[in-house]
Structure 1
């Protein structure tokens, strides 16, 4: 009985050793995967920061372009408005008649 119990105990010990080795390998693999994922995350965070910086810069450029465009539109409105005002004051009530296009005349 003692020999059987001793062999049974040794079998159990080998199984436990195998389980321990398997768990250590799994832990090592998981630690490697965690390290790789951390590197990927760090790279992704770097790209996010770069994209946010680019977005902020582009928003600033967009606002600057919108302001310049608004200034151009305002200047055009003033210029066109003053020219229309000059034409109206020279000939109030009389519209300039156009001669028909040579292609249209028959």
Structure 2
């Protein structure tokens, strides 16, 4: 998988946060080889932190988002959701 494109809206993401995102997104690479153009968008909305994760797979874009009290935990939850979506996508491919 390529390095994820990280966008931080209205704040600067620290190097530690960027490393955490890269590590979490790297765990998705073991699930499916056909992942392209990984993107992570981080935002702060009314005190809560939001993370949106998007991946391109063959002719589709898979997305997941989560809100939490910190960006790290929001990223963890969004990646957990994305892991389920990638596994569901793989299962659909096997059935065909």
TM-score, structure 1 as length reference: 0.25
Higher share of residues assigned helix: 1
Q: Which has the higher strand share?
A: 2
| TM-score normalised according to structure 2 size | 0.28
Larger CA Rg, structure 1 vs 2:
1
Higher relative contact order (Cα pairs below 8 Å, separated by 6+ residues): 2
